Structure 1
């Protein structure tokens, strides 16, 4: 007789590969569409801060270092709270995380209507939006990884590409709101727009086979067996556990069930792994700690940290930098359009390059940093509006190539099951650069009178990452060519 747990496991296994509701199915793409909608609305406050930054300077008459703190706090909180949201997504649900984050961010913008000073804006605009963006990115990264397998890179590209259109639409709108209603009225309207995260948040959910089963103890035992294996073998062994669960007693007595040798071997393999992992929580802790001390974790984290640092400073300083070079505020807003054009196009290109195997994720990272470094140096060395547009376009292309693939890179290095926790630590490291932003702006712009020094620092960091990823690609190729030779011996 087949027990209920085994019956449910088989049902979930068949649903997982159903063309309508399984992996890479029509339902998966519907979820990706709602993720795009949520991310599009949820990141508006961050994307338009370059325009709000100029409004803060004019309204309060503060230094540029002080005016940049709301954006710095957004990125700081977005990073510090990522480990918490990684746990919450695992413990509760991604939908619950998204709904709460969809409320927190807009509320922070609306409360700035009552702001008497920049500190108030830094606390509410910065803190609540930082927490909101953190939970949003973590939950959406996990949900997409759960719904897609073969088309995972394409799904990430589509979601992040669609969400990037907010940089096309909203900076000019916020500039219009500032000139019409002032800074305080802009906060009210902008907060109301951001509240449109709720409809997609209700529709986003994890697939059925990723939800906890009714029999918690048996599920934990199965998970413990899986965690002893490398990430790429986890799903295979999990499927074997499900196939043989109703015949579990065959490990103790071969005579009880007449299994063929291959099936018996797979059951014994599963049983031996379960014996080695009697303490699931301890094994999980050790695995997570092991991931955080690997070289590949720090290469991934520090590389994306440089990318996010460049993006954050560009979004904050682009309009004011263009004004320093003689461009009017109305024209400076179109620098965001040039950036967004490259960003949007190459977010789509990124997924196609990966899924078609034309480039590896390492190759995409290398090309992205080359474009980022070139674009930033163009911005630093030019004062003409057309070349500022070109530099922003090139920088946007580099950003678009890498932005959708953080999850792909982490899954390739650490596996899908480790993603929620690893992504939290990854984002925490990425956010450490927040402490350098305000001092950089204060030193180069407030004291030396130009943003060019900030851009040169970013350019040097970008080309350093080019060297790191070139070395990583060469090492992987060397190991690949060395393995066949070793096997032949």
Structure 2
């Protein structure tokens, strides 16, 4: 791919953007399907995105595969792993989540030089395929996530519908992608501003 480095960096920036914007949808999927399925799906999408990106020769193809598909998969893995930690720790939950978030930072810190080495030594295609393999290994981490038993969700949902009252068409459409409690929160506007930044 004969593109300028500044133009290729757009793909990396868009990866981070799609990863971040996946958050509300990922949390909705985790609530509905559980952490295990969402994490495995995220690992699979990331692996596919990176593998297909290794064959791309255009910037547009790289953006479609690496930035969007892989970014979406990373977002699914990230949110499901944080929720899994939060679900399993009732005592010292904040410490457990803090360690989980630090682990993400340490992984990013350690993988950056490895990716640079692989790219310089074996080329971009081999580096993408190697990262795709790491994502497949991450799927194994998702498979060992076990569900946590909570209160009866049907009773909770009935109680919530009774408390919430009627909803408009706009809210029904928005809550297909974003959890209703998040959307109705007074801090929702602030959340969106922070998420966009």
Q: TM-score, normalised by structure 1?
A: 0.35
Query: What is the CA distance between 1:122 and its match in structure 2?
Result: 1.1
Please list, as runs of the form range in 1=range in 2, the aligned pairs for 1:224-373 lying within 5 A after superposition.
Answer: 224=160, 277=162, 282=167, 288-291=182-185, 294=186, 296-299=187-190, 301-302=192-193, 305=194
Aligned to 1:60: 2
Report SS of the residue matched to 1:114: coil
Mapped partners of 2:103, 2:124: distance in 1: 28
Equivalent-residue separation in structure 1 for 2:21 and 2:105 (angstroms)? 24
Higher RCO (CA 8 Å, separation ≥ 6 residues)? 2
1:99 Cα offset (Å) = 0.7
Match of 1:189 in 2: 130
Give the aligned CA root-mean-square deviation in angstroms: 2.9
| 1:335-356 C-alpha deviation (Å, 9 max, x unpaired) | xxxxxxxxxxxxxxxxxxxxxx
Partner of 1:358: none
Match of 1:99 among 27, 40, 48: 40
Match of 1:129 in 2: 70
| Structure 1 gap segments, 5+ residues each | 1-58, 228-276, 306-429, 434-489
Aligned residue in 2 for 1:75: 16
Judged with a 3 Å threshold, the aligned counterparts in structure 2 of structure 1 residues 208 and 131 are, in CA distance, closer, same or farther, namely: same
Q: What are the within-5 Å matches in structure 2 for residues 408-427 of structure 1? A: none
* Structure 1 position 98, deviation (Å): 0.7
- Relative distance call for 1:300 and 1:86 in structure 2 (3 A) is closer
The answer (yes or no) to whether the contact 2:14–2:67 under 8 Å persists in 1 is yes
Q: When the two structures are aligned, how many residues end up with a matched partner?
A: 188
Matched-pair contact (CA < 8 Å) for 2:40–2:77 = no
Distance 2:126 2:90 in 1: 45
1:108 maps to what in 2? Answer: 49
Higher-Rg structure is: 1
Q: Superposed, which structure 2 residues align to 1:207-218 within 5 Å? A: 207-209=148-150, 212=152, 216=154, 218=155
Match for 2:110 among 169, 173, 178? 169
> Separation in 1 of the partners of 2:121 and 2:149?
48
**Distance (Å, rounded) in 1 between the aligned partners of 2:19 and 2:132:** 19
User: Structure 2: 5+ residue runs without aligned partners?
Assistant: none
Whether the 8 Å contact between 2:43 and 2:73 is mirrored in structure 1 is: yes
Structure 1 equivalent of residue 146 of structure 2: 205
Distance 1:123 1:95 in 2: 26
> Judging changes above 3 Å, is the alpha-carbon distance between structure 1 residues 189 and 67 closer, same or farther for their aligned structure 2 residues?
same
* CA distance 1:80–1:149, shift in 2 (3 Å): same
1:230-286 deviation digits (Å, cap 9, x = unpaired):
xxxxxxxxxxxxxxxxxxxxxxxxxxxxxxxxxxxxxxxxxxxxxxx376674x977
| Structure 1 residues 158 and 289, CA gap change in structure 2 (3 angstroms) | closer
Q: Is the 8 A contact 2:42 2:77 kept in 1?
A: yes
Structure 1: distance between partners of 2:20 and 2:116: 28
Aligned with 2:4: secondary structure? coil
**Distance in structure 2 (CA, Å) of the matches to 1:111 and 1:200:** 23
Deviation at 1:192, TM superposition (A): 1.4
CA–CA distance in structure 1, aligned partners of residues 112 and 71 of structure 2: 19
From 157, 168, 177, give the equivalent of 1:220.
Answer: 157
Shift of 1:156: 0.8
For residues 80-99 of structure 1, give each alpha carbon's deviation from its aligned partner in whole angstroms, at most 9, with x where no partner exists.
43332222222222211111
